[in-house]
Amino acid sequence: MGRIAVTDGISDEAKSLLEKNGHEVVVKFYSNEELLDGVLSTFDAVIVRSATKITAEVITASKSSLSVIGRAGVGVDNIDLEAAGRAGIPVVNAPRASTQSVVELTIAHLLSSVRKVPKSDRSLRDGQWAKKAMKGSELAGKTLGLVGFGRIAQGVGAVAQVMGMTVHAFDPYLPPKVAKSHNTRLHKSVDDLFSNCTHISIHCNLTEETHHLVNYEMIKKMPGKSRDGVKCGNHIVNCARGGIVNELDVLRALNDESLTTAALDVFEVEPVPADYELCQHPNFHGTPHIGAATIEAQRRVGTDISKNIMAVLQGKKCDYIVNKKHLS
């Protein structure tokens, strides 16, 4: 059986599953220097989260020993898919495991934004009773724009509709009938989406096309007023991938009040510096990339990625290979 490196941790259940199936599991974080020195050349597979970067150089240093690379989660921008494909290494992920957890965190950020929960908490801790300054707005009757319309976005949209929101989406890869089946208006351009929505939530992958997709010019297109005439302001949430939102532009928009609130779970550079200016803005609140950080999601993601890794190692079919087009 295979020797599997787990560099960013995994649940005890997942580790036991691999070991019960005869695999040797080494749970250890390796520095970039160690990876470049070829530490993975003694392994048949590696499982990473977001901390470990599997670059083209790391893949070359592994000396073709790897049969599969696993991402315990959804986003794979920390893995060079093309380089892995050229080396004949399939990359698998576990896209379903964290869906519910990310949906719930997104809704939590939306609600916290419009009801000024973080701002109210900070004022209480400062000894203030700033009740009049904390007037917010409801989500009901407002328009939510989803950038991307995969599983997580569909889940967020379903909850938003229950709360009385109208849901719009932009996804160039989505068949219109899918949006229609979710009672969601599909836009042909991201510009049109922003122009029609006071609340935006990001749910796409980080690619060359989506890098800094949310910028100052895009934010300025947002209407700031709901269809029923309520001046609810403009609100952006990102629980997808860092780098899609231009954080300097978000700060600029918060400063000139083009943007009312911003809530990020993911950042372009993680961890953020202790004195990061955006994090100090009174109308910003964030979380340290905790979208999948629930007991339930961690259990599911470990089990799912372990099953996908074992399927590839055993030569069985795996539906979650994300670099098929690059495999040589």
Catalogue the active-site residues: 241, 270, 289
Report d(CA 110, CA 273) in Å as an integer: 24
Collapsed DSSP state (helix, strand, coil) of residue 284: strand
Cα–Cα separations (whole angstroms), residue 302 to 11, 43, 296: 6, 19, 10
Please enumerate in sequence order all residues whose Cβ is within 8 A of that of 327, keeping only pairs 6 or more positions apart, or say none: 85, 88, 90, 321
Name the residue type at position 252. Answer: R
Q: Which long-range contacts (CB under 8 A, 24 or more apart) does 272-281 make?
A: 277/251, 278/247, 278/250, 278/251, 278/254, 281/251, 281/254, 281/255
Burial group, residue 293, by CB count within 10 angstroms (0-12, 13-18, 19+): middle
Report d(CA 208, CA 172) in Å as an integer: 15
Question: How many other CB atoms are there within 10 angstroms of residue 194's CB atom?
Answer: 25
Cα–Cα separations (whole angstroms), residue 133 to 58, 233, 281: 52, 15, 16
Q: Are strands 3-6 and 45-48 parallel, antiparallel or unpaired?
A: parallel
